[in-house]
């Protein structure tokens, strides 16, 4: 499996993951996203922008994504753009130290 480094840019995942936090993206077939996972996907309205969000729910192949920041104006997430198809999730983000890197 190839490791891809992902870095948080902004405050949408604060305080859990502040700006600059790095992850390793796990995206092989054995890594099925579940509720509570932090994942990478493309922004539905800005296809060249990749976003890191937490899965709040999965229903009928659609994923509701949220930021961790308690300020509702600090994160553009499924509250703004709706659910994202599960097959558009690029992979699960794992903290570097959890992955052993």
CATH number of 4-99: 2.10.109.10
Please say if the pLDDT value at position 13 is more than 90: yes
Flag whether the pTM goes above 0.75: yes
Task: Name every residue whose Cβ is closer than 8 Å to that of residue 11 and which is 6 or more positions away in sequence.
Answer: 18, 19, 69, 74, 75
Is the bond into 15 cis (omega within 30 degrees of 0)? yes
In this prediction, residue 1 carries a pLDDT of 56
10 Å Cβ neighbour count for 10? 16
Which tens digit of pLDDT belongs to each residue from 62-95? 999 999 999 989 999 999 999 999 999 999 999 8
Sequence ranges of the domains in the chain: 4-99
**Which residues is 50 bridged to in the sheet?**
42
Which tens digit of pLDDT belongs to each residue from 45-71? 998 999 999 999 999 999 999 999 999
Query: What is the mean pLDDT of the segment spanning 27-53?
Result: 91
* Tokens of residue 71, six digits: 């300020």
In this prediction, residue 100 carries a pLDDT of 53
Q: Tell me if 74 sits within 8 A of 19, measured CB to CB.
A: no
In this prediction, residue 97 carries a pLDDT of 59
* Tokens of residue 65, six digits: 């994504």
Instruction: Give dist(CA 55, CA 43) in Å, integer.
Output: 14
Q: Of residues 10 and 2, which shows the higher confidence score?
A: 10
């Amino acid at each position: 499996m190839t490791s891809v480094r992902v870095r948080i840019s902004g405050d949408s995942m604060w305080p859990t993951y502040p700006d600059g936090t790095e992850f390793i993206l796990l995206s092989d077939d054995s890594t099925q996203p579940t509720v509570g996972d932090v994942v990478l996907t493309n922004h539905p309205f800005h296809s060249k922008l990749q976003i890191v969000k937490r899965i709040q729910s999965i229903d009928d192949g659609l994923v509701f994504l949220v930021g961790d920041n308690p300020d509702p104006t600090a994160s553009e997430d499924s509250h703004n753009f709706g659910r994202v198809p599960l097959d558009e999730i690029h992979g699960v983000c794992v903290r570097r130290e959890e992955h052993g890197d």
